[in-house]
Amino acid sequence: MQLVHHKTLTVEKWAILSLTTQLLNVGSELSRAREMRVAGSRIQEERAYERALELLDITLAGKHSLAELRELTRLREAICSLMVKSELAVSLDELYEYILQFSVLK
């Protein structure tokens, strides 16, 4: 897998991290997207979404149960909908709050 934003990251290195840690890393990019939205920087907001998707894609490349895959692909769909401003029933704030729940598991 060729990564654009996380060039030194490999699937093997990423797989060492727990799924919770991986999702918290995705959440940190969503946090950056929120900050850029508030600052009015659409380009930087989009880049944060791209980085979140890249981390999510490398997460999906790992081994997961069907339930985990379903949840991860739903998360990916929600992030994509935010990028293109579609009318999915989730906001960036709601998605960020969802990801924050994983910090309790850490």
Q: Give 23-41 as a DSSP string.
A: HHHHHHHHHHHHHHHHHT-
**Side chain identity at residue 80, one-letter code:** C
For the chain, give percent helix, strand, coil, nearest 5: 75, 0, 25
Q: What pLDDT is stored for residue 98 in this prediction? A: 84
Across 53-80, average pLDDT: 92
Assign 86 a pLDDT band (cuts: 50, 70, 90).
low
In angstroms, the CA 81 to CA 102 distance is: 22
pTM above threshold 0.85: no
What are the structural domain ranges in the chain? Answer: 11-105
pLDDT (tens digit per residue) in 94-105: 888 888 887 776
63 — pLDDT class (breaks 50, 70, 90): confident
Which tokens belong to 23? 């999702």
Question: Using 50, 70 and 90 to split pLDDT, how confident is the model at 89?
Answer: low
